[in-house]
Amino acid sequence: MNAKRMSTNRQQFEIGDRSLCLAVCESVAEITGKDATELEILEHHIDTDALEALVASSDDLVATFEWEEVVVQVTGREVMVEKW
């Protein structure tokens, strides 16, 4: 996973060839120090199909949501995760 640390509480990840939801889960796991299998189920917090469709529809769109005590921002190419 290609990650750019912006501070101790904020990190930027490239989505690359992974699915958007997998990229979100792996990114949140890395910054929270949890195993991805220990995270709450993402689909219980957001509509993942809608998220993927929205992000795929525009390079300029940024989707932001809270999950696992972090703020997640998603674009078509990157996931930004910031601890509160």
Q: From first to last of its 84 residues, what are the pLDDT tens digits of the chain?
A: 555 555 557 888 888 888 899 999 999 999 999 999 999 999 999 999 999 898 888 878 899 999 999 999 998 889 999 987
Q: pTM to 2 decimals?
A: 0.84
Structure confidence at residue 2 (pLDDT) = 54
- Domain limits of the chain? 3-83
The token pair at 54 is 């929205």
Measured between alpha carbons, how far is 13 from 56 in angstroms, rounded to an integer? 17
CB 44 within 8 A of CB 68: no
